[in-house]
Amino acid sequence: SSLYRRLFGEGEILVATHREPVVWVERPPEETRKSAAPRLRYPAGGVSQSLHRLLLQTGGDWVALRSSPGPNPLTVSLPDQPASYELHRILLSDPNISAGYQRFANDLLWPLFHEEPGRVLTHPGDFEHYQHVNALFADRMATLLEKRHNGFVFIHDYQLALVARGLRPRLSKNPPPLAFFWHIPWPRHSFLTEIPERADIVRGLLEHDLLGFQTPLYRDRFLESASELLGDEIRIRRQTVLWQGRKIHVGDYPIGVDPDRFESLAQGPEGPGLARKFLRQVGMDPEIPFLISVDRMDYTKGFLKRLEILETLFRRYPEHVGSLRLLQIAPPTRTTHPPYQSYQTRVRQAVRETNARWARDGWEPIVTIEETVEHRTLAPLYRLAAGALVTSTNDGMNLVAKEYLATQKDAGGTLFLSRYAGAAHGLRDAVLIDPYDPEGSARIIHTALEEPLAIRSGRNRILREEVLRHNIYEWMESILNEVHDLKNR
Ligand code: GDG
């Protein structure tokens, strides 16, 4: 926050995300009077929590879709701290609009940007609803910008690609810079041909001054799509796009985690006890080695590929049968969307089959927990695990990989990282697997598990340097610095 003050003086941040950073807990009035328990809860997810902490220090405004009861705007502050920010909550009262917007984002953009055309579900009129919701964000933000001068505007992800289009014409003469971060992959251009409105989306993104991607590959693919779709309308010079008399900086900013927090939760006085208690509660013996996977139950995370890899491991290297287990923390996600319902049903069925095939004397290879597990338990579980298994078939970054490494100080747990996760770009020394190649992946996993501790912990030392250096604060800082340079150029 001191860097922010140095760069932006009194200016405040205006953030926009699809999801709210806090959840309001409704309680009957009598209970509220008696209980001092906080009314705000924090949903899972690393990024919004880090932005939330920054805004608590700098002050500012945050616009998101309303998903829980409580006041609007909601003043967000921590007990015993003077600073706060205002959360402005957009209520979608028409269920048709809400459904159309969600479908366009999650049943069209999400699968295509993850190169999964088979999961696409389209419905006439969805794009209009998507535009409408983005325009609501723009209206609310324009009003806020009239009231006070903000340092910069920071909009997030594929649900809000068109907000700046509504916002730009309504900015004052000396407008704050508009920055945008695209959290998911940018696919090979051919996948975009399934989106009739692809040029609108690219133009919407070019309404910002800074456009951030997770890796150089996604950044370059965006530039390629822009040039393919807009032709003579734009000029591209390295990382700068010239469009409609403006310069847009297009960069790569690999997102990170808060490594100190994960390290101290994993090794703090409570951590190991919480992890052991959790394992016993789910019927696992803390002394028996296990691999851990943590992902929303989304088809891009490769749950079925993961099972194939595990089955191949047991078939080829039977010494793991009866000993090595997989703990999957898999909170269900987007459960009202049919492609997710059928995927989640298939995953559950496949887990049952794998378990039935390999079960021995009360031992089952896979334990799935379909609930959110708090970070204070999750971090020590990471530390205890012999390895983390990341099997995404496509993933913008994958924070779980970095969280796992953050907990492996002087320890030898192995990160098995899908080569299709953005994280594989920065974590060059990680043990990479290809989820489409179960044989090769099983061999790699078996070999790494057998390696001496010195090799495994030596590798973690190198990998952890990257995680510690490119942490979430460094991510925020490099974006703040770039935005500041743009403002003063
Ligand atoms: C998108 C992009 C990109 C998960 N389960 C629990 C839990 N989580 C937390 C993890 C982690 C976060 O959620 C998941 O982050 P990922 O990066 O793995 O995946 P997405 O949700 O798909 O995020 C992704 C990211 O945006 C950031 O730019 O990396 O590629 O798809 O932080 O810890 N947290 C808790 N309990 C759980 O059960 N507390």
What order of strands is seen across the sheet that includes strand 431-433?
366-369, 325-329, 290-294, 387-390, 414-418, 431-433
For ligand 1, atom 28, the nearest C-alpha belongs to 183
Percent of the chain at pLDDT > 90 equals 83
Per-residue pLDDT of 217-268, as tens digits, reads 999 999 999 999 999 999 999 999 999 999 999 999 999 999 999 999 999 9
Cα separation, 237 vs 201, in Å, equals 21
Strand, helix or coil at 98?
Answer: helix
Q: Is the pLDDT of residue 46 over 80?
A: no
Residue range 293-314: mean pLDDT, rounded: 98
pLDDT in tens, 177-198: 999 999 999 999 999 999 999 9
Q: Whose CA is nearest to atom 11 of ligand 1?
A: 45
For residue 173, give the DSSP letter. Answer: S
For strands 84-90 and 74-77, give the pairing: antiparallel
How many A from CA of 143 to the centre of ligand 1?
Answer: 32
Ligand 1 geometric centre to CA of 42 (Å): 13
Between CA 219 and CA 428 the distance in angstroms is 19
- The whole-number pLDDT of residue 1 equals 72
Tokens linked to 413: 């747990």
Higher pLDDT, 235 or 489: 235
CA of 44 to the centre of ligand 1 (A): 7
Shortest-distance atom of ligand 1 to CA 47: 27
- Beta strands (DSSP E) in 12-118 are 12-16, 23-24, 40-41, 60-65, 74-77, 84-90
What atom in ligand 1 is closest to the CA of residue 372?
A: 38
Q: Which residue, 226, 252, 229, 253, is CA-closest to 241?
A: 226
Environment class of 367 (CB within 10 Å of its CB; exposed 0-12, middle 13-18, buried 19+): middle
Q: State the average pLDDT over residues 294-300.
A: 96
Among 2-16, 19-33, 178-192, 301-315, the minimum mean pLDDT is found in: 19-33
pLDDT exceeds 80 at position 134: yes
**Ligand 1 center to residue 398 CA distance, Å?**
7
Angle subtended at Cα 374 by Cα 402 and Cα 23, rounded to the nearest 5 degrees: 105
Residue 68 has a CB neighbour count (10 Å cut-off) of 15
CA dihedral 423, 198, 137, 87 (to 10 degrees): -10
Nearest atom in ligand 1 to 46's CA? 32
392 C-alpha to ligand 1 centroid (Å): 12
In percent, the amount of the chain with pLDDT more than 70 equals 97
Concatenating the DSSP letter of every residue in 294-330 gives E--S-GGG-HHHHHHHHHHHHHH-GGGTTT-EEEEE-
Q: Could you give the C-alpha distances from 185 to 108, 118, 208, 212, 403, in angstroms and in order?
A: 14, 17, 18, 11, 20
Q: Which residues line ligand 1 (CB under 6 A)?
A: 44-47, 183-184, 255, 294-296, 329, 331, 372-375, 378, 395-400, 403
- Taking the CA of residue 423 as reference, the ligand 1 atom at the shortest distance is 29
- Please, are residues 401 and 423 in contact by the beta-carbon 8 Å criterion? yes
pLDDT tier for residue 145 given thresholds of 50, 70 and 90: very high
Q: Would you say the C-alpha torsion 272, 469, 415, 413 has a positive or negative sign?
A: negative
Question: What are residue 250's DSSP bridge partners?
Answer: 211
Neighbours of 237 (CB within 10 A): 8
Chain segment 375-431, per-residue pLDDT in tens: 999 999 999 999 999 999 999 999 999 999 999 999 999 999 999 999 999 999 999
CA 80 / ligand 1 centre spacing (Å): 29
